[in-house]
Structure 1
């Protein structure tokens, strides 16, 4: 059944590309420009540096200052704390990628990996402050009532209630005895060239998904059928967050537009979900669970932003 549905969708997409190749070319161009100008220069250096930190067993240096919150409040091990921090600092899909790699190498147990997948994948602070906030302030009448702290709090504070739900869902309890770093990968010599080529491969995958979903988002903008006023921009935000957030900012006025932008950024879009799926090498991590957690996170972010912005 899944193969049949994907087959029909593939044929439909091919027909769309054939009937309007100019639109497909423009969507591909926008996706590649987004990848080359924003995603590649912001994500790749973090990806390379994080791999070097892991290879040099320097995780404790990075996570040490934040240990009271990461260890006591979120109940994470040192290795798990690094997964969360990589997701917070680097953005989609770095948190999921690090979690999957740490599970494969035996650095974290399966229960902690499932728990981390629920809380470790987020838009990076650079993307939030440099793009999301700027697009919200494009909306007339919103700039004065939208401080930086409200946007950041709405996107990142839901990690706390979700962490409680995820720990109960996966029956996760922090191991009081850290896992010794004697895994097979830890004992192998580190090759910087191999690591960098692996990062390049991941970035090419991410670029491919961004290009494809940018094309889809552009087709949605010219979809000929009538839709409710908020449905088209909401769909754009759910498909690809960068293109979608820009469309929302220029088409949905007032608080409704700001809330849609916050929800889109928290969810990450279908493009972000496919990017995350591409880096999940471990069978113990479920993309369906991940999607559910992102929907919950998006809903909590919208509610929290509304409460903070209306004060």
Structure 2
């Protein structure tokens, strides 16, 4: 029997469907306690998972994310001219920042512009949904060179992702709100409180990097423990179930596992494209935590992520 109930969070209501009257909070509690016991009874595997997540963060994410994150945070904190920026320029600038920095750089820039009053809530929610892509260095360097062995494949994926995003950017521009009238005043207040753009960008970047590292290592650990549990029951098929778990939870780890399992298979590039489109819960939580700090609505983000999962792999398959 299906039962419907409502929960309230941040003044928004979402309709949640429960099966057999089991509430979402009850399931969450069981899951948390289950993972705690799994970690306690498999400390060695949990340690291996944490090491794996730390290694991937240090080798695949930190070199490609940190320099761009600092520079983009520095850029948006530079003193502005004594005039209000139009929506078209703000959209273009914010998209460019996210395109070069990769996720969650776009979310961080949007959160700052929202807190400073430069972007309205409606504009920020739409931009959050569109300004979301891997950094060029990650796609070309890690995915193209290290995984696929062809830099051109990384460029191709980069072009497809940004083609889809730019089309959506034009669409949401006409659906957006407006730049807030108090942008000049709020920007001046922010600059007064933050007289050193570089120092503030370093501080903010360190917080974001810590968030990224935490989510990557946590989900790598959880995924490793769950994969080990599945391996005890699934036998030879366990690796494929593990790939599914990692794809849902932590993208970078899933990409590495996909290489180990399918590197010689003809389907390997398509699997990589699908995993990149999913992003994984780790990345989505990074974006949602940053968005929550600025009280940015997230429904457009969730909708367009589903759209990306359908469109990007399809276009990539057509171009192979």
TM-score higher than 0.5: yes
Of residues 228, 235, 252 in structure 2, which corresponds to 1:242?
252
* Bigger shift: residues 120-129 or 216-225: 216-225
Partner deviation per Cα, 1:169-194 (whole Å, 9 max, x = no partner): xx32666x997533121343423444
SS of the counterpart of 1:47? helix
In the alignment, is residue 263 of structure 1 matched against residue 274 of structure 2?
A: yes
Distance 1:154-1:220 versus aligned 2 partners, 3 A rule: farther
Which residue in the other structure is 1:53 paired with? 75
Paired with 2:216 and 2:317, the residues of 1 have a C-alpha distance of 29
Instruction: Say how many residue pairs are matched.
Output: 286
Name the residue aligned to 1:63.
none
Deviation at 1:159, TM superposition (A): 0.9
Return the offset for 1:107. 0.8
What displacement does 1:124 show?
A: 0.4
Candidates 71, 76, 83, aligned match of 2:94: 83
Q: Does 1:282 align with 2:294?
A: yes
Which TM-score applies when normalising by structure 1?
A: 0.80
Would you tell me which structure has more strand in proportion to its own residues?
A: 2
Whole-angstrom distance in 1 between the partners of 2:43 and 2:238: 27
8 A Cα contact 2:49 2:221, kept in partner? yes
CA offset digits 1:215-242 (Å, max 9, x no partner): 1232344323446986542432232111
- Name the CA distance, whole Å, in 2 between partners of 1:220 and 1:155: 31
Contact conserved, 2:130 with 2:301, CA < 8 A, in 1? no
Compared CA separation, residues 180 and 105, structure 1 to 2 (3 A): closer
The question of 1:155 aligning with 2:161 is answered yes
Q: Distance in 2 between matches of 1:106 and 1:14?
A: 42
SS at 1:57 equivalent:
coil
Alpha-carbon RMSD across the aligned residues, in angstroms, is: 3.0
- Provide structure 1 residue ranges, at least 5 long, that are not aligned to the other structure: 60-70
Give 1:27 shift: 1.0
Where does residue 7 of structure 2 map in the other structure?
Answer: none
> Is 1:216 aligned to 2:238, yes or no?
no
String of CA shifts for 1:32-59, please: whole Å, max 9, x gaps: 2222334333322322222322222369
1:175-186 alignment to 2 at 5 Å? 181-183=184-186, 184-186=189-191
2:311 to 277, 297, 300: 300
2:50 pairs with 8, 28, 31, which one?
Answer: 28
SS at match of 2:185: coil
2:119 corresponds to 1:108: yes
